[in-house]
């Protein structure tokens, strides 16, 4: 194939394929009345922070992440896929919250509880992702290209509760874009798992005191999130640099959440 002909045609297809994620209608939050739009662009975010209450939180208990779907769901997750997505979201929340608070394993010892849920998921198109990696090899640069029809996504939410009162919350939805920094993957969970990290960042920010306390650091022996595995997917990072493809990490399966019935 003549790539000098193929690439401009492919680029044109990418540029016309800007995708917007849907607005999920189901929620596990105790209330959504306080939420306000805080971010647009690739991510749709609504947040709430009650700073005075957050400033009084020291110890946090993290509940297992739930999976809740609605009429936007066009997929069926296997039990293994369900476990992988929930484990990654829960892990990223733990990593970020642990930098701000003392994480405890007994809810009775906590000042606040954090509940979270995956409320929307769009699978990554695996066949087209391989083609996108080839195209990116011939068009090097910081901005990557993705084929229309391969763009996965993640919708998630979380809230911090203090004596059953919401003091911080977020609803977060993001879909991969045809032109950007979202890495293609040969796993249909690829985009959702990649987006768990920025979700964790934004969720923890919405649940942070002001001013931020000094960042907590841990050793392997003291890390409260060690049960989720490493904070960095070193194997995936190396393969990404070599092949241009994202490879998910495999995390230990968290304890099952007590969640509403899942229609899948």
- Residue 91's nearest CA partner among 224, 220, 219 is 224
Tell me what pLDDT residue 77 has: 78
Q: What is the pLDDT of residues 138-147, one digit of tens each?
A: 445 444 455 5
Average pLDDT, the chain: 76
Tell me what pLDDT residue 182 has: 65
Check residues 223 and 139 and name the one with the higher pLDDT. Answer: 223
Tell me what pLDDT residue 185 has: 66
Q: Name which of 58-72, 157-171, 200-214 the model is least confident about.
A: 58-72
- Residue 85's nearest CA partner among 239, 191, 223 is 191
Check residues 2 and 62 and name the one with the higher pLDDT. Answer: 62
Check residues 54 and 69 and name the one with the higher pLDDT. Answer: 54
2-6, 101-105, 254-258, range with greatest mean pLDDT: 101-105
Mean pLDDT of 219-225: 91
Is the pLDDT confidence value at 52 over 80? yes
Confidence of residue 121 (pLDDT cuts 50, 70, 90): confident
Tell me what pLDDT residue 73 has: 58
Tell me what pLDDT residue 257 has: 46
List the structure tokens of 203. 């969720």
Is the pLDDT confidence value at 91 over 80? yes
Tell me what pLDDT residue 145 has: 53
Mean pLDDT of 247-254: 63
Q: What is the pLDDT of residues 153-185, one digit of tens each?
A: 899 999 999 999 999 999 999 887 665 556 666
Mean pLDDT of 120-133: 60
What is the reported pTM? 0.78
Domain ranges of the chain: 3-243
List the structure tokens of 5. 């002909």
User: What is the DSSP secondary-structure string of the chain?
Assistant: --HHHHHHHHHHHHHT------------SS--TT-EEEE-TTEEEEEEE-HHHHTT--EEEEPPPEE---TT------HHHHHHHHHHHHHHHHHHHTTTSEE-S-GGG-SEEEEEEEEEEE---HHHHHHHHHHHHHS-SSSEE--TT---EEEEEEEEEETTEEEEEEEEEEE--SEESPPPBSSTTHHHHHHHHHHHHHHHHHT--SSPPPPP---TTT-TTGGG--SS-HHHHHHHHHHS-B----PPPPPPP--PPP--
Tell me what pLDDT residue 124 has: 80
Q: Could you tell me if 114 and 224 are in contact, meaning their C-beta atoms sit under 8 angstroms apart? A: no
């Amino acid at each position: 194939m003549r790539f000098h002909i193929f690439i401009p045609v492919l680029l044109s297809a990418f540029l016309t394929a800007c995708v917007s994620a849907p607005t999920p209608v189901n929620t596990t939050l105790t209330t959504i009345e306080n939420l306000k739009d805080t971010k647009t662009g690739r991510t749709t975010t609504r947040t709430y922070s009650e700073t005075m209450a957050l400033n009084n939180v020291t110890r946090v208990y993290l509940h297992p992440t739930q999976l809740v779907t609605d009429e936007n769901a066009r997929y069926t997750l296997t039990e293994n896929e369900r476990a992988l997505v929930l484990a990654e979201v829960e892990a990223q929340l733990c990593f970020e919250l642990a930098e701000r608070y003392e994480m405890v394993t007994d809810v009775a010892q906590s000042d606040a509880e954090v509940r979270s849920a995956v409320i929307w998921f769009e699978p990554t198109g695996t066949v087209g992702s391989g083609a996108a990696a080839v195209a990116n090899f011939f068009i090097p640069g910081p901005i990557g290209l993705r084929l229309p029809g391969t763009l996965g996504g993640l919708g998630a939410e979380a809230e911090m509760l203090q004596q059953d009162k919401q003091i911080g919350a977020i609803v977060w939805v993001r879909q991969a874009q045809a032109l950007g920094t979202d890495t293609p993957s040969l796993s249909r969970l690829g985009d959702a798992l990649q987006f768990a990290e920025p979700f964790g960042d934004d969720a923890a920010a919405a649940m942070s005191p002001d001013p931020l306390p000094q960042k907590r650091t841990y050793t392997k022996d003291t890390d409260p999130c060690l049960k989720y595995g490493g904070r960095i997917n070193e194997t995936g990072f190396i393969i990404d640099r070599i092949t241009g493809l994202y490879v998910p990490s495999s995390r230990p399966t968290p304890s099952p959440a007590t969640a509403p019935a899942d229609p899948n």
